[in-house]
A and B are shown apart, each in its own frame.
Chain A
Amino acid sequence: MLRISRYVAVAMLLAAPAFAEDRFEKTMSGTVNYPGGRVTIEHRFGRVVVRTDGGNEVSARATIRSSDTELGKQIHFAISNGTTGVSIRTVFPSIHSHDGDLSYSADLQVTMPERAPLFLRSRFGSVEVSGLRAPVEIVNGQGSITVRDIHGGRIENSFGSITISSSGGDTTVQNANGSININDIEGMLSVTNRFASVWVRDVSKGLSIANTNGSVIVSDVRGPTSISDTFASVEARNIGGPTSIANQNGNVTATDIGGDLNVDTRFGLVKAAHIRGNLTVDNANGGVSATDINGDARVNTSFASVFLKDIGGGVRVENQNGSIAVSGLRGGCNTISLRTTYAPIRIAIGSNASYTVTARTTYGMITTDVPFSVSSKSSSENSSSLAGTIGGGGCKMELATSNGGITITRE
């Protein structure tokens, strides 16, 4: 790499012992021309702040603090430029003392052209970046990351939070053991996390989130959305496109979904409302409650209740050991199939609804207050079945349970 300025550009503005012998502080700064390429920053043990301007220079300013003057004097940063870009690196001397009495930190503030791509690697310190018009790549560990007004990129952290506000491009975020808080992404957003919460708001295109052991809250996404999680709750609100949520051992809440909603979960309660497309829920050991579904509602679950209300399309529920209640069927003809075991089924239909009904149960009764034209009926000691029509018939309604009753009522 052609080095126009190698360490020479670093000018020590002030290197005076600021306090007593055990409280050394100095400030260093350096500036180089930006020749194009990437700005690379490598730092440790202190805060990094990156700002931008419309100029053509990269400048860095470091505040170095140490409990030992000699050690403090040896800590510096190197700034250089070449054909591949600009490099800024904080240099710490090798410390051979193991008594732990030598302590130090270095805070770095960098100002760079807004059009320059940035690669920043840091550890044991917080990172703040703002105002970039080119993609960023930030890798930090054991310190928080705060990013504002960038143009997409990749941000990775561990054991520290990530906060992003306003990214103008596709953005990938990865964290572990640190919360993620993202607001205003103009592009696709991909998020991966473990053992901490994820909060996302206002994404212009698609969204993908994979989390484990941490809650997920998402709102205002204008594109397809995919969320997976385990052992924590998932909440999605105001999603413009089709939405897929996979969870385990956590509740799922989805409201105002502009397309189809698919939920696959275990051991959690599913609540869905205001779904413009079809609803498909595959659950086990968890209840399902859905309201205002424009399309079909298909629900599989077990050991918990299913409540469906205001459904525009067909309804199909497969349950075990859990009751089923359906009401507010809005469509002219909703195909109904409700099956469960060891629990009752209750369905309410409109006054002018027409159905061809088949109902069957064991150890239970079939009751209705709706005018019913019976075509076949059988009843034994422990089972009963009923077939016939409501209104003029036509739409198919199949109701089956065991050890539970079946009730058909008017709305």
Chain B
Amino acid sequence: MTIHCDHFDDLLLAGDSFSMQVAAQHARGCPACAERLASWNEISDTARGMHASWSNDMLWPRIERAIVADAKRSRARQWQIAAAFLIFAALGAVVWRANERVRNAEFDNAILRASAVDQVETAERAHVVAIDNLEKLTKSKLEDPSTPLLVSYKEKLMLLDDAIAECQASIDRNRQNAHLRRQLLAIYSEKQRTLQEVLREETHASNQ
């Protein structure tokens, strides 16, 4: 079999007996390749003389421990991932719950629940009773106001009554609307306060 010098290294790298026989045959007629073959054989002999194994008894236990530790780390990592997922899920649930609560609160702030409406109507009835009592006490002065201030109070009370009527008409068709309820309560409070001022004015005038 005839080979070219360019393929000589391929034969050496192949390393099987047939390739080495062909390489030796070629080297016999080629000094350059003979020198390369000699170097190769020298390296091979040196490599064969080196340690192929270690006789240290501690090596394998160390490797085994490392493998076990690595397995444990792997399980810990799995647990960490699971824990992170759980925490993420829990946080998500908390955020979702908080968001729901905010939405519920916003809704309650716009449309009152039935129980809240009952409470509001109780407060309104209390205002109405107080206002009725105050109106009885101030009736005579307001029917025939004797001072410019009383005239002014009378005018204010008429405006408040108009606003109450307007608010009440809207509430009749929108009973749980929170803004309407708050507004009506505010106007009732203002009317009560104004009647109390009229009463004080009466007292003040009568003391003079």
Q: Do A and B bind each other?
A: yes
User: Footprint of B on A, CB under 8 Å?
Assistant: 18-19, 23, 25, 45-46, 65-67, 95, 97-98, 100-105, 107, 124-126, 142-143, 158-159, 176-177, 194-195, 212-213, 230-231, 248-249
> Closest CB-CB distance, B198 to chain A, in whole Å?
12
Q: Select A231's contact among B149, B172, B177, B183, beta carbons within 8 Å.
A: B149
Minimum CB distance partner of A266 in chain B: B148
Contact A67 B176 (CB under 8 A): yes
Question: 1/0 contact trace for B154-169 toward A, CB 8 Å?
Answer: 0010011001001100
Question: Which of B112, B152, B171, B179 meets A213, CB within 8 Å?
Answer: B152
Within 8 A of A (CB), among B161-194: 163, 166-167, 170-180, 183, 186-187, 190
Picked from B111, B156, B160, B179, the residue with its CB within 8 Å of the CB of A124 is B179
A23-B183 contact given A100-B175, A159-B163, CB 8 Å threshold: no
14 pairs from A and B in contact (CB 8 Å cutoff)? A19-B104, A25-B107, A45-B177, A66-B111, A100-B173, A101-B175, A103-B111, A103-B112, A105-B174, A124-B170, A159-B187, A177-B163, A194-B156, A231-B152
Indicate which residue in A45, A98, A158, A248 contacts B148 across the interface (CB closer than 8 Å): A248
The reply to whether A249 and B148 form a contact with Cβ atoms under 8 Å apart is yes
Asked if B110 lies at the interface with its beta carbon under 8 angstroms from chain A, I say: yes
A176 vs B163: C-alpha distance when bound (angstroms): 11
B183 and A124 form a contact (CB under 8 A): yes
With A18-B103, A159-B187, A231-B149 given, name 11 new contacts (CB 8 A): A23-B107, A102-B174, A105-B110, A105-B178, A159-B186, A176-B159, A177-B190, A195-B159, A230-B152, A248-B148, A249-B149
Distance, CA A107 to CA B106, complexed state (A): 11
**Size of interface on B: residues with Cβ below 8 Å to A:** 30
Question: Is A105 in contact with B152, judged by CB distance below 8 angstroms?
Answer: no
Is chain B's interface secondary structure helix, strand, loop, or mixed overall?
helix
In the complex, the chain B residue whose C-beta lies closest to that of A196 is: B190
Given A142-B163, A177-B159, A249-B149: A18 and B107 within 8 A (CB)? yes
The 7 lowest CB-CB distance pairs between A and B, nearest first, are A103-B176, A100-B175, A105-B110, A65-B110, A195-B156, A159-B163, A142-B183
Which residues of B are in contact with A by a Cβ distance under 8 Å? 103-104, 107, 110-112, 148-149, 152, 156, 159-160, 163, 166-167, 170-180, 183, 186-187, 190
User: Assuming the A-B contacts A98-B172, A102-B173, A177-B190, are A46 and B110 also in contact, with contact meaning beta carbons closer than 8 angstroms in the complex?
Assistant: yes
Report yes or no: A105 in contact with B179, Cβ–Cβ below 8 A.
yes
Across-interface contacts of B190 in A (CB, < 8 A): 177
Closest Cβ–Cβ distance, residue B127 to chain A (whole Å): 16
* A-side contacts of B152, CB under 8 Å: 212-213, 230-231
Q: Which residues of B contact A97 (CB under 8 A)?
A: 173
Q: Which residue of A lies closest to B174 (CB)?
A: A103
List of B residues within 8 angstroms of A101 by Cβ: 175
B107/A124 in contact, CB under 8 A: no
Partner of B173 from A65, A98, A194, A249 at Cβ < 8 Å = A98
CA distance A123 to B83 in the complex (A): 53
Which residues does chain A contribute within 8 Å of B166, judged by CB atoms? 142
Shortest CB–CB separation between residue B56 and chain A, in angstroms?
70
Task: Name the CB-closest residue of B to A100.
Answer: B175
Bound Cα distance A343, B173 (Å): 65
Give Cα distance in the complex from A88 to B186, angstroms.
30
Q: Contact between A65 and B156 (Cβ–Cβ < 8 Å)?
A: no
Residue of A67, A159, A230 near B111 (CB, 8 A) is A67
How far is the CB of A294 from the nearest CB of chain B, in Å? 35
Distance A194 CA – B159 CA, assembled complex (angstroms): 11
Cβ contact of A142, chosen from B110, B159, B167, B173, cutoff 8 A: B167
Per the bound structure, the CA–CA distance linking A189 and B103 in Å amounts to 40
